[in-house]
Amino acid sequence: MRVGIYYNNPPPKAGGAYTLLNTIINDINSSEVEHDFYIFYNDSSAPKKYQENNIVYINCYKKNKKPNLILRIIRKFFNFSFKKSNDDYLNNIFNNENIDLLWILGPYYINTAIPFVFTVWDLGHRMLPCFPEVSRGNEWKYREKMYKEMLPKATYIIAGNKTGKNEIIANFPVNPEKIHIMPLPIPSFCFNDSIQIVNPSFQVNFPFIFYPAQFWAHKNHIILIETIAWLRDEKKIIINCYFTGYDHGNLEYVNKKIKKYNLENQIFIIGFISQDELIYLYKNALAMVFPSFLGPNNLPPLEAMALGCPLLYSDITGHIEQMEGAGLPINATNASNIGEAIIKIFQDSKFREDLILNGLKFTNKNKSYSYFNEMKKIINSFYKYYKTWKE
């Protein structure tokens, strides 16, 4: 069979999504594959089609041209949307490559007749619709339409853990039997034996915590600003903090809060950084603190544990399930609770070392787990249907 993997982003700016894709690519190229794999992505600067190892890469990027006035009037009259046009465009690409099964690697709406596997990262618009990134403009309506149409039509649905599966069942009328739990994998770069710790391009002030997250409101950078201020003002302890990631609408507010608390010399926003620099922060941080309000699972906590960095993470149900007792849960709404946890790590070397060891135990337990191998089970399950109409 020909299996397509659809990823609607150019690497590497998509953060965790790109990290996941890269791990899948490494798994495919290091595995025995019985099928042909195609990765469909969007990148304005990449070739239209090329092959590397076991994978054919198809660039779906289309330069949008604004239709002339007459065409816009005709489309409006007949209610033809640009979305329909884009669906036709993508379907033509999939059909030209004779794709038999499509793995949609994220919250992407595609109106297609090709059987597909749909990956659900979270249902943030249902679980916490208060956040602007899931409710502003037409975002809530788009997400609602996407899940209402994609989930029932999907041949299989992927959830990251039991919490994620339960959230899908609680919010949408979906057959539970077609939901497959596939925990997120520890990113492959964490196991690179040739990793060399290099000095970053930016100045690093010790001791520091850091938080690798895009600037969405739900990522909750604000609580870490309040925590660093609480440590300084209430405990007279100076801890620095580094934020990495791209702005998705909340960076200006984060900067205002940093200035409000006079923390410009303690909290540093360094944007997108290289993988080597990311590894440096993991290897040298006092802790990685992950106070996100949305789960039910995420990649950075897995990276932290694999790279020997003490982990603090929000105590939401999905994260607690994902961590399996490793790391230290925190109340992501309480600056003093987080601050006390940081002090414990800062002042108690044995406690910090125990956190690291528990994280490494978790890593060793899950090191051989392959996200792609779990997907192969789904592909093989699909084959019993596929062979009834095609050989």
Is residue 78 predicted with pLDDT exceeding 60?
no
pLDDT at 80: 44
Share of the chain above pLDDT 90, in %: 83
Residue 252 lies in a domain: yes
Same domain, 115 and 144: yes
Same domain, 301 and 261: yes
| Residue range 229-252, pLDDT digits in tens | 999 999 999 999 999 999 999 999
Residue 306 lies in a domain: yes
pLDDT at 292: 98
Same domain, 78 and 211: no
Same domain, 90 and 236: no
Is residue 68 predicted with pLDDT exceeding 90?
no
Q: The tokens of 276 are what?
A: 């080597």
Over range 337-345, report the average pLDDT: 98
Domain membership of residue 36 as a residue range: 2-185+369-386
Q: Rounded to two decimals, what is the model's pTM?
A: 0.92
Same domain, 175 and 281: no
Same domain, 243 and 161: no
Residue 67 lies in a domain: yes
Please list the alpha-helical segments (H only) found in the chain: 16-29, 69-77, 82-96, 124-127, 132-135, 139-153, 162-171, 221-235, 251-260, 275-284, 300-306, 317-323, 335-347, 349-366, 371-386
pLDDT at 8: 85
Q: For the chain, give the mean pLDDT.
A: 92
Same domain, 154 and 244: no
Over range 224-232, report the average pLDDT: 98
Same domain, 220 and 327: yes
Same domain, 163 and 104: yes
Residue with tokens 């978790």: 362
- Helix axis angle for 221-235 and 335-347, nearest 10°, is 60
The total number of structural domains in the chain stands at 2
DSSP SS3 for 152: helix
Residue 391 lies in a domain: no
* CB neighbourhood size of 30 (10 A): 13
Q: The tokens of 311 are what?
A: 């982990």
| Residue range 159-183, pLDDT digits in tens | 999 999 999 999 999 999 999 999 9
CATH code for position 9: 3.40.50.2000
Same domain, 227 and 338: yes
Same domain, 373 and 352: no
Same domain, 266 and 341: yes
Share of the chain above pLDDT 70, in %: 93
> How would residue 44 be classed by pLDDT, with cut points 50, 70 and 90?
confident
| Residue range 80-113, pLDDT digits in tens | 444 456 789 999 999 999 999 999 999 999 999 9
Over range 353-368, report the average pLDDT: 97
